[in-house]
């Protein structure tokens, strides 16, 4: 048991920290592939290397980084950039609501950092491991969380920085920006598991292609609003 009081890290047990590392390790390859693709896509789109490094070290959200890349490239209004990232990241709000009981007893700094580190893979592993535990917020649970989060963060940062440093070497004809679309597709497909989601995807896809000429990339927000409304309507209809 870690006894030293730390402002940002909650007390945790070493055993479960190691267990968290071991659980996340098999996923490190997939995280690294994602990271390299993201880093390469960022510099191939034209972002300078120093800015790209700040971008990936600070934002630490691959799908939001890839999603805002085409917007930043054309200098879209900042509010469009931020709303787009927020929309892509809204899934994390569900994650935080689902795992809050494991962290709610901690000081706010520790909660803030734990939330920042709570990505897609760590959340999935953690839920699978502790969903049946009746006691929530133990040092064992926090150790497992930090172990997985540490592997995720290190693998992601090393890979995305490698992608940023090497990405400039690839000729643009290779079409590496396509890899960014493929990486986003890997997040999108598992979420397309029910009729309302599929209906939303189809409507949004058609609208976003038709409105691509709209100024300031506003076609994106318009198609998300309409597509989202269609998904909600389909949900209400299919559950009624």
Partner 1 sequence: MNGFDDTLYMLVAIAGLTVVTFATRSSFFVLPPSLELPPMVERALRYAPVCALTAIVAPAVLTRDHAPFISWHNHQMWAVLAAGLVFARWRNMTAMIVVGMALFTVLRLWT
Residues 70-129 that bind partner 1 (CB under 8 A): 70-76, 78, 81-82, 84-97, 100, 103-104, 108, 111-112, 114-119
Q: How far is the CB of 200 from partner 1 (least distance, A)?
A: 5
- The single residue among 49, 124, 154, 191 that binds partner 1, judged by CB under 8 A, is 191
Of residues 18 and 172, the one with the C-beta less far from partner 1: 172
Q: How far is the CB of 182 from partner 1 (least distance, A)?
A: 5
DSSP string over 95-119: HHHHHGGGTTTS-HHHHHHHHHT--
Nearest in space to 188 (alpha carbons), one of 209, 175, 171, 205: 205
Q: Cα separation of 216 and 21, whole Å? A: 43
Q: How far is the CB of 26 from partner 1 (least distance, A)?
A: 13
Residues 165-184 that bind partner 1 (CB under 8 A): 173-184
Residues 210-239 that bind partner 1 (CB under 8 A): 210, 212-213, 219-220, 223-224, 227-228, 231-232, 235
DSSP label of 150? H
Q: Is 215 helix (H, G, I), strand (E, B) or coil?
A: helix
Residues 53-72 that bind partner 1 (CB under 8 A): 54-55, 58-61, 63-68, 70-72
| Count of residues that bind partner 1 according to CB under 8 A | 100
- Where does residue 197 rank: exposed (0-12), middle (13-18), buried (19+ CB within 10 A)? middle
CA angle 70, 75, 78 (to 5 degrees): 95
Structure tokens at 18: 């190691």
Site string for partner 1, 7-36 (x = CB under 8 A): ----------------------xx--xx--
Q: How far is the CB of 135 from partner 1 (least distance, A)?
A: 17
Q: How far is the CB of 204 from partner 1 (least distance, A)?
A: 4
- Where does residue 102 rank: exposed (0-12), middle (13-18), buried (19+ CB within 10 A)? buried
**Chain center to CA of 146:** 17
């Amino acid at each position: 048991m870690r006894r030293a009081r730390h402002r940002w890290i909650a007390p945790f047990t070493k055993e479960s920290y190691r267990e968290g590392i071991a659980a996340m390790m098999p996923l490190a390859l997939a995280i690294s592939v994602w990271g390299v693709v993201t880093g390469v896509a960022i510099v191939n789109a034209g972002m300078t290397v120093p800015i790209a490094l700040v971008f990936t070290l600070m934002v630490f959200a691959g799908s939001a980084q890839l999603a805002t890349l085409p917007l930043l490239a054309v200098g879209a209004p900042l509010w469009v950039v931020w709303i787009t990232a927020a929309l892509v990241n809204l899934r994390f709000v569900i994650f935080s609501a689902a795992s809050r009981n494991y962290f709610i007893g901690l000081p706010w700094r520790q909660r803030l950092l734990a939330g920042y580190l709570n990505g897609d893979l760590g959340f999935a592993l953690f839920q699978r491991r502790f969903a049946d535990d009746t006691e929530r917020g133990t040092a064992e649970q926090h150790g497992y969380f930090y172990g997985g989060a540490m592997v995720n963060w290190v693998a992601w940062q090393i890979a995305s920085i490698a992608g940023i440093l090497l990405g400039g070497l690839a000729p643009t004809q290779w079409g590496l920006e396509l890899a960014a679309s493929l990486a986003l597709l890997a997040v999108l497909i598992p979420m397309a598991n029910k009729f309302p989601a599929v209906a939303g995807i189809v409507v949004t896809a058609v609208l976003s292609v038709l409105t691509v000429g709209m100024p300031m990339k506003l076609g994106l927000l318009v198609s998300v609003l309409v597509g989202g409304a269609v998904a909600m309507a389909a949900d209400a209809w299919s559950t009624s």
